[in-house]
Amino acid sequence: MEIIVPGCAPKNPPPGDTKTTATTAKVEELLSQLTLEEKVGQMTQVCIDVVSVTENGVIAEPHQVDPVKLRKAIVDYHVGSILNVANHCYSRDHWYEIMSAIREMSEQNQCKIPVLYGIDAIHGNNYCENATLFPQQIAMAATWNPGLMEQAASITAYETRAAAIPWNFSPVLDIGRQAAWSRIWETFGEDVFLANQMTQAIVKGYEGSDIGNKYKVASCMKHYLGYGFPVSGKDRTPAWIPDNFLREYFLPPFEQAVECGAHTIMINSGEINGVPVHASHYILTEILRNELHFEGLAVSDWEDIIRLHTKHHVAATPREAVRMAVMAGVDMSMVPYDYSFYDHLLELAREGSVPAWRIDEAVRRILTLKVKLGLFENLYYPASDYPDFASEKHRLASLEAARECITLLKNEDHVLPLPKNARVLVTGFAANTMASLNGGWSHTWQGDQADRYASDKLTILEAIRSAIGENNVAWAEGTRFDELTDIDRALQLARSADYIILCLGEMAYCEQPGTIGDISLPPAQAELANRLASAGKPVILVLTEGRPRLISAFAENMDAILIAYLPGNEGGIAITDVLFGDVNPSGKLPYTYPRSPNALINYDHKYTEQVSEVVSIPQFEFGYGLSYTSFSYSGLSLSAGDIRSADSLRISIDVTNTGNLAGKEVVQLYISDLYASITPPVKRLRGFQKVELAPGQTQTVIFTIHPSELAFVNADSQWVTEPGEFEVKIGDQAGRFTLND
Ligand code: BGC
């Protein structure tokens, strides 16, 4: 079998086809009619708070749009875009009310250009009541199954449009190589190859081949570029990334998404090598436009133009910040709370400090997006066009993804799966909250109200009770996130249990509020784990967490460990299915799980980083994950021992299910460039394939590798392959080949 690389959605049609010609003609006609004020307005995006009814300065409840403020935004300031929700998520009906108020107001504006609404529907339409919530991106990556990602994205697009919203600030294409970073869970993990495969799938799922389709949305690749690698691990703090490393590790998913036709991009709030990305002409224009040939809309991140002045200190005035960002290549400013961007840009344009061509270029991109989304014909479609919104079919797709992300990290003496007649003690705060299953961007920005909004969904505890009967399940919270609660009760209940299911991890968080000073799980969680371990009953540790918090203080004492990341609303059921054997786990880690705080290295580190076993051996390796069955690898064979750069190499391997259960295995191909002109990483993932095998079944898996797929970016920032010897590793099998000139 050949490796299946999921294909991109068909790219934007070549210039010259009828649809493109009609779009261009419409955009040019509109552009020629707009005043400067209207153009600058198009480039302005405000948040919904700006147009909402307030009482004593606070958004009134229930949320309502204020017609006076809306008139000011749309008629006086001609704003091109509105985003977000105020405080909490809305019903579909309320979304329709908002959109219809916006449409009516746009009709009163002489330019009558529809307003583009955008939200962060990052794992389902998470700001809409009852929408289907999927596992977060990191968990989707752990499935190593791009097909599931495409399905989840496609349903998300459907349910987002079903709430009248056409623009989704997703996917996150930052490579998560800093384990402590509070947004690791929004990424596809630390590896570029895996992220690239998932990127293709998610963009295809969101956009399909036509974003004008009423079941598709415009995606927004973010946060371009290099956001996922803050040196300190703290959100929006400086990154130092050499150009070659930037291009080899951080640029490829964006390139991939552009290839797949992604229509918009959001800029990294941070700085790289001392240059805030919002002010980087090199990154926003030279690389993005001249090299990647991206033609879509570039939107700033939250308040980030203002922050060039207030936080980054590269612009001496707010007005200069606007000039810098627009001239660097930002087309739309997520201002978001006022009209300062509009006022400054208008002045700058009138005096010629921002030339007319640059304004036209930005507005052309914005209008093109609006035309392609079909907003001029239908700002939104009737709710009745979306019968599958929050359907059982969609729920089952989320459940399937949640089941497939769960990664079994330890299973001493095959303690798992548990018998269904077992008596269990469930303990640990994460067992009984939807917040630890969903994480941030769930109903609210910080995800802290998941228990209210997802009250009809099952927590881990509720799902276990429903699976094996309430009488067989004892419950003690044991610990909150960082403080012990009823530990004595937990220990007492442990005496009459056959097994202890200990649910630890993180509360929901997002962005800067999720910043931590210590990557270890809090001491209270470690203490609960160790004291339960001494109770003499097998302890099964279930982790639900956004990033790999250290568990080395107690991992040795656990009999089994599984991680579910942030598996979404169906996570409680999926975890239970794995615990009791209804599902054989097949997830694999999309990041390296560190063992100690000063050893946060990635799997594709340099040889010199292997300084000693103590600091170099992680808790669990990238790509690791057990199954209830076992697999063996044999017969690695390479089509040639020597290849030239025009050849391709066929690598085949036999994988056998040697156990008694059907199971899925992710066959991972690693290749090491043994010597190179800049220090090579110890290995790189160059292919994978997820196969399902019946007991005793053997399958031959074939990868075809072209030497260009072994390329790296050299010291001159050029992609190169260099002749020399390479080592291939799949499972415990290894082989070598030589690449000649
Ligand atoms: C985040 C973005 C998000 C934007 C709009 C920012 O704070 O960094 O990821 O899309 O807010 O909600």
**Residue 12 belongs to a domain:** no
Q: Answer yes or no: are the C-beta atoms of 656 and 681 closer than 8 Å.
A: no
- Looking at the structure, do residues 446 and 593 belong to the same domain, yes or no? yes
Cα of 46 from ligand 1 centre, angstroms:
13
CA 616 to chain centroid: 27
- Looking at the structure, do residues 47 and 125 belong to the same domain, yes or no? yes
The pLDDT score that the predictor gives to residue 521 is: 97
Cα of 554 from ligand 1 centre, angstroms:
36
Pocket test for ligand 1, best of 266, 300, 335 (most atoms within 8 A of CB): 266
The pLDDT score that the predictor gives to residue 615 is: 65
Pocket test for ligand 1, best of 47, 81, 83, 120 (most atoms within 8 A of CB): 120
- Looking at the structure, do residues 418 and 537 belong to the same domain, yes or no? yes
Owner of token pair 């010609």: 21
For residues 216, 218, 224 and 226, what is the CA-based torsion angle, rounded to 10 degrees? -10
Give the Å distances, CA to CA, from 698 to 530, 626, 639. Answer: 41, 18, 20
Q: Considering 337, 354, 381, which residue would you say is the last residue of a domain?
A: 381
Q: Considering 616, 646, 666, which residue would you say is the last residue of a domain?
A: 616
- Looking at the structure, do residues 193 and 102 belong to the same domain, yes or no? yes
Cα of 87 from ligand 1 centre, angstroms:
15
Q: What are phi and psi of 444, to 5 degrees?
A: -130, 165
- The DSSP bridge partners found for residue 681 are 606
Nearest Cα residue to 418 out of 297, 576, 273 = 576
The pLDDT score that the predictor gives to residue 4 is: 34
**Residue 462 belongs to a domain:** yes
The percent helix, strand, coil of the chain (3-state, each to 5) is 35, 20, 45
Q: Which residue ranges have their beta carbon within 6 Å of ligand 1?
A: 83-84, 120, 169, 222, 266, 269, 301-302, 511
Nearest Cα residue to 706 out of 654, 651, 645, 655 = 645
**Residue 276 belongs to a domain:** yes
Number of domains comprising the chain: 3
Q: Considering 381, 415, 440, which residue would you say is the last residue of a domain?
A: 381
**Residue 243 belongs to a domain:** yes
- Looking at the structure, do residues 399 and 463 belong to the same domain, yes or no? yes
**Residue 418 belongs to a domain:** yes
Query: Which residue type, as a one-letter code, is found at position 649?
Result: L
**Cα 285 from Cα 680, distance rounded (Å):** 30
Owner of token pair 């419409």: 26
Cα of 265 from ligand 1 centre, angstroms:
12
Question: Integer distance in angstroms from the first to the last C-alpha of the chain?
Answer: 29
The pLDDT score that the predictor gives to residue 284 is: 98
pTM of the model: 0.96
Which residue's CA is minimally distant from atom 5 of ligand 1?
302
- Looking at the structure, do residues 443 and 356 belong to the same domain, yes or no? no
User: Beta strands of 123-255 (E only): which ranges?
Assistant: 167-168, 220-224
- Segments of the chain scoring below 50 in pLDDT: 1-7, 9-10
**Residue 87 belongs to a domain:** yes
The pLDDT score that the predictor gives to residue 309 is: 98
Pocket test for ligand 1, best of 302, 303, 333, 337 (most atoms within 8 A of CB): 302
Pocket test for ligand 1, best of 169, 181, 234 (most atoms within 8 A of CB): 169
Q: Answer yes or no: are the C-beta atoms of 133 and 183 closer than 8 Å.
A: no
Cα of 318 from ligand 1 centre, angstroms:
21
- Looking at the structure, do residues 357 and 233 belong to the same domain, yes or no? yes
> Could you tell me the two tokens for 119?
């939200």
Q: What are phi and psi of 245, to 5 degrees?
A: -70, -40
- Looking at the structure, do residues 377 and 402 belong to the same domain, yes or no? no
Cα of 306 from ligand 1 centre, angstroms:
15
**Cα 562 from Cα 373, distance rounded (Å):** 42
**Cα 479 from Cα 490, distance rounded (Å):** 10
Question: Helix, strand, or coil here: 647?
Answer: coil
- Looking at the structure, do residues 354 and 397 belong to the same domain, yes or no? no
DSSP state of 496: T
Is there a cis peptide before residue 669, judged by omega within 30 degrees of 0?
no
Which residue's CA is minimally distant from atom 6 of ligand 1?
302
Catalytic sites, residue numbers: 301
- Looking at the structure, do residues 49 and 128 belong to the same domain, yes or no? yes
Supply the CATH number for residue 303's domain: 3.20.20.300
Supply the CATH number for residue 402's domain: 3.40.50.1700
- Looking at the structure, do residues 547 and 639 belong to the same domain, yes or no? no
Q: Answer yes or no: are the C-beta atoms of 521 and 504 closer than 8 Å.
A: yes
**Cα 595 from Cα 610, distance rounded (Å):** 14
Domain of residue 672: give its range. 631-739
**Residue 62 belongs to a domain:** yes
What DSSP line would sit under 219-267, residue for residue? -EEEEETTTT--TTSSTT--B---HHHIIIIISHHHHHHHHTT--EEEE
Supply the CATH number for residue 710's domain: 2.60.40.10
**Cα 366 from Cα 398, distance rounded (Å):** 33
Cα of 227 from ligand 1 centre, angstroms:
12
Q: What are phi and psi of 717, to 5 degrees?
A: 65, 25
**Residue 31 belongs to a domain:** no
Nearest Cα residue to 424 out of 539, 535, 534 = 539
- Looking at the structure, do residues 201 and 338 belong to the same domain, yes or no? yes
Nearest Cα residue to 167 out of 111, 227, 207, 109 = 207
Which residue's CA is minimally distant from atom 11 of ligand 1?
302
Quick one: CA dihedral 332, 514, 62, 159, positive or negative?
Answer: positive
